[in-house]
Amino acid sequence: MKISTKAFRWSLFLSALLLFIYAVNYSVTVFSIGDSTMANFSLTSDLRRGWMQNIPPFFNNEVKIVNYAKSGRSSKSFIDEGHWDWVVSKLNPGDYVIIQFGHNDEKEAETLHTDPWTTYTENLRKFVGETRAKGAHPVLCTSIVRRYFNADGTVQKSHGEYPDAVRKLAVDSSVTLVDLNEKTRELLESFGPDSSKLLYNYVEPGESDLYPAGNEDDTHLNDRGATAVAELFLEGLQEQDHPLAGYLLLTALDDAFKQIVPADIQLFQNYPNPFNPVTSIRYSTAQKGHVKIDIFTITGKKIKTLLNDVKPAGNYTFDFDAGRLSSGIYIYRLSVAGITLSKKMILTK
């Protein structure tokens, strides 16, 4: 049967349209709601960065990120101003909502303040319940810490009982919790009072036209800090084998901490590499801490934990036997003192 030129062109147009629709047909949409520590900032007129702002490059192209966190909002004002209604109206079954409030809930302003065990918990419960009612999945986060140190080098608990309220709600309502308050506390304490300024919006006088006189901000993250906290959040998902972790590009994590990792924590290239079937993995740390070494496929599936224990300072070597695995590229990841480092290795058979 002969096909007309017009019909042929129409067929090509439909094919191209379907290809375009398929290309932007995300498997999952992730919404995030919260305050300025999570929000988007201008890349040209601001040096602050929210940790959700820096998270998209870590996910593959099946994930759409809608960061709807708003600067200066508490759980109360986010609801009162209609922001939550907008998010709910966009939710579809299978979507995710990442929730982090607390920094502004503790302020005394009538438009912001909530009580951790009553109004704050009720607002978070509203977010969780209405997310689930739409067939979507909530993820609760405790607030990241402020850069406030005690004289002994520990980080102050500047958020009162709000993190505990989130933890309790997560247990009571069986909601996934990523305890960023605890993870960022460990991160800051591993850096110490001086080096931790590398993570926050600290600017020396004359360093930036945006802050001619310099800037000292112990609440908001800079680009390095936002990347660090984003990675801690993703680590929390991986630790719980959360479904979202299956969409991660682990290769994007390889260099995430190179600019900010303390010199006393190192992960070395495995030897030999390529290898078959045994290779040695070596790391060093100058401080005692909880150490974890995991092996992942290149697509992000965890296949083995080599170590998960508290270790004193020192140099360590572990053997990895990949005799049961297929040839390919794998990722090995070291987590110690709130820091995560990754490297690639190649198995050839």
Q: Extract the tokens encoding 76.
A: 């109360």
From residue 1, give the alpha-carbon distance in Å to each of 4, 11, 14: 10, 15, 20
Let me know: does 215 contact 201? Beta carbons within 8 Å. yes
Q: Are 319 and 279 in contact (CB under 8 A)?
A: yes
Q: Residue length, the chain? A: 349
Asked whether the CA dihedral 161, 167, 168, 169 is positive or negative, the reply is: positive
Dist. CA 265–CA 308, nearest whole Å: 17
Considering the candidates 32, 36, 74, 143, report the single residue annotated as catalytic: 36
Tell me if residue 220 is catalytic: yes
> Is 113 part of the annotated catalytic residue set?
no
Question: Does residue 326 have an active-site annotation?
Answer: no
Sheet containing 302-311, strands listed edge to edge, beginning at the edge strand earlier in sequence = 302-311, 289-297, 328-336, 339-347
**Annotated catalytic residue: which of 137, 220, 335, 342?**
220
Question: Within a 10 A sphere around the Cβ of 235, how many other Cβ atoms?
Answer: 20
Q: From the candidates 27, 62, 216, 290, which is the catalytic residue?
A: 216
Cβ–Cβ < 8 Å for 155, 148: yes
Type of residue numbered 323: G
Give CA–CA dist 326/214, Å, rounded: 53
- Say which residue the tokens 């982090």 belong to: 100
C-alpha–C-alpha distance, residues 284 and 257, integer Å: 16
Active centre residues (catalytic): 36, 216, 220
